[in-house]
Amino acid sequence: MLEEPYKEKLDSLLATINWSIQLPPRLSDFFSVRGDSQSAVQEERKHIRIRARAKCPGFFESTLPSLHRDSTCIPIYTADFSRGGCGFISAIQIFPTERLRLILPTFWLQLQIVRCRKLGPRCYEIGSILVAKNQPNPVAFDLQKSIN
């Protein structure tokens, strides 16, 4: 069962987010696409991906030494999940090796970014590998350990 403080904190946070991502016209059906994701011949993926679209808050856990990132929540649209990672859309560019925390309704993830591709203004497609999948717990909102 979900811990009530976790659900309340997530709902409260979701209500305050400025959803500034600008999906390009070719992604107008982004939230209606679900299910298995087909792989291209050239892809070297290790795990099957499942498309699961959701809005969630993201927080930086670590970043590059030359970048200044604060603990402000960034809007995230999840795109797909696999056993080993997650794809998502962000309004800002996130660089490989940066680490991000995504807080979802039934779990929260710690991810390391492996790729970033600009799709349009305020729209970046991000690929990440899974560092940890965590049970719902108010610890997800403890940002004291972020941005090292």
Mean pLDDT, to the nearest integer, of 33-50? Answer: 61
Report for 32-36, 51-55, 139-143: range of highest mean pLDDT: 51-55
pLDDT at 95 over 70: yes
Between residues 112 and 37, the one the model is more confident about: 112
How far is Cα 70 from Cα 3, in angstroms, rounded to an integer? 27
Percent of the chain exceeding pLDDT 70 equals: 85
> For the residues 10-22, what does the mean pLDDT come to?
94
The DSSP code for 147 is -
pLDDT confidence of residue 41 = 47
Is the predicted pLDDT of residue 109 greater than 80, yes or no? yes
Work out the burial of residue 12: count CB atoms within 10 Å of its CB; fewer than 13 is exposed, 13-18 middle, 19 or more buried: exposed
pLDDT at 100 over 50: yes
Digit-coded pLDDT (tens) for 72-93: 899 999 999 999 999 999 999 9
Which of the residue ranges 2-6, 75-79, 88-92, 103-107 would you say has the lowest mean pLDDT?
A: 2-6
Average pLDDT over residues 15-42: 80
Spatial CB neighbours of 56, under 8 Å, sequence gap ≥ 6: 14, 76, 78, 102, 103, 104
- The whole-number pLDDT of residue 38 equals 57
At residue 45, the pLDDT reads 53
Strands (E), 12-145: 35-36, 50-62, 74-82, 85-90, 99-103, 108-120, 123-134
- pTM, two decimals, is 0.86
Q: Which two tokens stand for residue 57?
A: 């808050």
